[in-house]
Amino acid sequence: MNDAHNTNSSSIGIFVNQAGYRPEGPKKAVLPFSCEEYKIIDTDGRVRFSGMPSGFGFDKASGDNVYIADFSRFSDPGEYRIIANGTSSALFSINDRVYERVLDSTLKAFYYQRCGCALDRRYAGIWPHDACHTEKARLWEDSDIEVDITGGWHDAGDFGRYVTPGAVAAAHLLYAYKLFPGVLEGRRYGIPADGELPDALAEVRYELEWLMKMQRADGAVYHKATSALHPPFVMPEKDKATIYLFPCSSMAAADLAAVCALASGIYRPFDREFADRLLETAERSGEWLIGHPEFLGFTNPEECNTGLYGQHSDISNRFWAFTELYSVTGDKKYLDLINPSVNKDFSLTELGHAETGGLGSLAYILCPQPKDKLTATRLKSIFYGSAAALKGLSEKSGYGTAVSPEHYYWGSNMQIMKNAMIFALNDVLNGDPRSRDCAARQLDYLLGANPLGISYVTGTGEYRCSHPHLRTAACDGVDECIPGFVAGGPNRHPADTTAIKSIEHGTPPAKCYIDNEDCYSLNEVAIYWNSPTVFVLAYLCGK
């Protein structure tokens, strides 16, 4: 077990991005107290820069009056702390490669989530483990029937594998590859190589192979593969509970069709056979969706308590599926299904893990096939409007955080990173240069420039999340936590026993967090919390 550290320690009263800042980029630290002067000192204790913080005022999410130390002018590469009033920031660096390091580690986290294969020391370092969940699964509705669905990524701190969040996480990585040329292509970050494939695509392929196994012969798709109950805290290879394939849902069919269609275009230059298989799978689920226009939701059977990922509608998922299918095939039957749905009432910028209208919009805008130019322009302007609204929100926050104080829910860090994705997309689609700094500021928050001064990414930063709700990390007997995982973050509606007991009533939203492995409603990890983070980092690395 790692040594606990107190995130409210007076030794870290000044909050910075603990991964650091690029020399030429904006640099802001946040102080929850006033002072005449702050100093930046290097590791020899020499003062390298000083300045006067400016008052921001009351920050509602933290309940603090905050002050901003803007040291953007200071650009000397090195390692520093900021000191003022007898308190200090955590150590941070200024160098060109701050984003690249975090990108590699948040990408590698997907490898650590692999199910069905041993994690070898060569790649896993001090966090190896034996192959897990290698048995066949049984159909929930007829347990005599066994199906091979080995592979894919564990969803989160549990060992469940769920189609909708898996498809969305894979899509975030695929779009990062597609939209930021040159960033993911050449990256080798220590996973088993797969021919000529860039590592990031090899990793996503691991998930895609599993996703395709979740398809039934008729194109319907099982919603999830989990044990009936959440497994105890054991290493995955020790979890021998029967895995069930739960009933199909139309969201699963749509998200599978969408991500396979998207992937078929991306993998084609590397591997035609794989691309064909992806496309056939996508079309089979596309046909199933067309033949089953009614919503097929998902509810957990009474005896099952694993993740629900339920929805009340599949309109956004169908929109995403048909736009990706149209984009890759040019088949008019899909276009005819997109046109009516684009005018229905759902968010056209939601980027998953449940609603996927934003992914559909993106597919439509980027689609090389004949399409309605006006619709494409309208969709682009919706991203512009959404980014403008988020910018307005961030200006009301002392930390520049693009989320309203009321919206610190379960997985708030995901919400903040998805909002950062909107900034990035606004830049990509509308060439809005203000978006870059807004996106970077969300990352500053995630990496320590937040009201608790903690980096929410394991392995990054001096004061960082080290006790995530992640079975492998809790049970491997290794002191150092597996790096690269994004914790859920502050949740003003704590929902697990330890969090409910520990978070005092009335705690400001952005402080409703403790670094405790029992707290699944605050401190769990999830693939779809890492994936928007990877996307944003890839965007910034490409700038």
Q: Which residues are catalytic?
A: 158, 469, 515, 524
Strands 244-245 vs 137-139: parallel, antiparallel or unpaired: parallel
Choose the contact partner of 133 out of Zn ion, ligand 9MR, none; CB within 5 to 8 A by kind.
Zn ion
Nearer to ligand 9MR, 158 or 517 (CB): 158
Nearer to ligand 9MR, 190 or 297 (CB): 297
DSSP 58: E
- Closest CB 307 distance from ligand 9MR, rounded Å: 3
- Closest CB 239 distance from Zn ion, rounded Å: 7
Binding mask 157-176 for Zn ion (x = CB under 5 A): --x-----------------
- Closest CB 513 distance from ligand 9MR, rounded Å: 14
Nearer to ligand 9MR, 64 or 155 (CB): 155
- Closest CB 488 distance from ligand 9MR, rounded Å: 6
Question: What residue number has its CB nearest to Zn ion?
Answer: 115
* Total residues binding Zn ion (CB under 5 A): 5
Nearer to ligand 9MR, 349 or 415 (CB): 415
Choose the contact partner of 307 out of ligand 9MR, Zn ion, none; CB within 5 to 8 A by kind.
ligand 9MR
Contact residues for ligand 9MR, defined by CB under 6 A: 155-156, 158, 160, 307-308, 410-411, 520, 524, 526
Choose the contact partner of 156 out of ligand 9MR, Zn ion, none; CB within 5 to 8 A by kind.
ligand 9MR
- Closest CB 236 distance from Zn ion, rounded Å: 4
Give the Cα separation of 375 and 394 in Å (integer): 29
* Torsion region of 448: left, alpha or beta (phi above 0 gives left; psi -120 to 50 gives alpha): left
**Stretch near Zn ion under the rule CB under 5 A, chosen from 40-48, 152-160, 214-222, 531-539:** 152-160
**Stretch near Zn ion under the rule CB under 5 A, chosen from 167-175, 232-240, 276-284, 304-312:** 232-240
Q: How many CB atoms lie within 10 A of CB 508?
A: 17
Largest CA distance in the chain: 73
Nearer to ligand 9MR, 104 or 524 (CB): 524
Give the Cα separation of 1 and 101 in Å (integer): 25
For residue 115, state whether it binds Zn ion (rule: CB under 5 A).
yes
Cα dihedral 16, 22, 26, 28, rounded to 10, equals 10
Choose the contact partner of 115 out of Zn ion, ligand 9MR, none; CB within 5 to 8 A by kind.
Zn ion
Q: How far is CA 126 from CA 129, 473, 477, in A?
A: 9, 11, 10
Nearer to ligand 9MR, 236 or 307 (CB): 307
- Closest CB 162 distance from ligand 9MR, rounded Å: 7
Residue 464, φ and ψ in degrees, nearest 5: -135, 160
Cβ atoms of 356 and 320 closer than 8 Å: yes
Angle separating helix axes 373-395 and 434-446, nearest 10 degrees: 50
Q: Which amino acid is at 1?
A: M
Q: Name the nearest CA neighbour of 338 among 383, 369, 381, 310.
A: 369
The helix/strand/coil state of 21 is strand
Cβ atoms of 463 and 18 closer than 8 Å: yes
Choose the contact partner of 155 out of Zn ion, ligand 9MR, none; CB within 5 to 8 A by kind.
ligand 9MR
Q: How far is CA 73 from CA 48, 106, 437, 447, in A?
A: 12, 29, 15, 21
Question: What residue number has its CB nearest to ligand 9MR?
Answer: 307
**Stretch near Zn ion under the rule CB under 5 A, chosen from 114-122, 224-232, 284-292, 467-475:** 114-122
- Closest CB 112 distance from Zn ion, rounded Å: 11
- Contacts of 289-293 with C-beta under 8 Å, sequence gap 24+, read 289/219, 289/250, 289/253, 289/254, 289/257, 289/318, 289/321, 289/322, 290/333, 290/337, 292/220, 292/250, 292/253
Strands 64-70 vs 28-31: parallel, antiparallel or unpaired: antiparallel
Nearer to Zn ion, 410 or 528 (CB): 528
Q: Which amino acid is at 93?
A: S
For residue 133, state whether it binds Zn ion (rule: CB under 5 A).
yes
Nearer to ligand 9MR, 360 or 411 (CB): 411
Nearer to ligand 9MR, 160 or 360 (CB): 160
- Closest CB 155 distance from ligand 9MR, rounded Å: 5
- Closest CB 240 distance from Zn ion, rounded Å: 11
For residue 132, state whether it binds Zn ion (rule: CB under 5 A).
yes
Q: How many CB atoms lie within 10 A of CB 207?
A: 25
Cβ atoms of 77 and 3 closer than 8 Å: no
Choose the contact partner of 199 out of ligand 9MR, Zn ion, none; CB within 5 to 8 A by kind.
none
Choose the contact partner of 132 out of Zn ion, ligand 9MR, none; CB within 5 to 8 A by kind.
Zn ion
CA atoms within 13 A on the CB side of 430: 23
Nearer to Zn ion, 133 or 511 (CB): 133
- Closest CB 410 distance from ligand 9MR, rounded Å: 4
**Stretch near Zn ion under the rule CB under 5 A, chosen from 110-118, 181-189, 334-342, 410-418:** 110-118
Give the Cα separation of 295 and 286 in Å (integer): 14
Cα dihedral 349, 531, 317, 364, rounded to 10, equals 50
For residue 236, state whether it binds Zn ion (rule: CB under 5 A).
yes
Nearby residues of 3 by Cβ (< 8 Å), 6 or more positions away: 479
Cα dihedral 123, 124, 129, 133, rounded to 10, equals -70
Residue numbers at the binding site for Zn ion (CB under 5 A): 115, 132-133, 159, 236
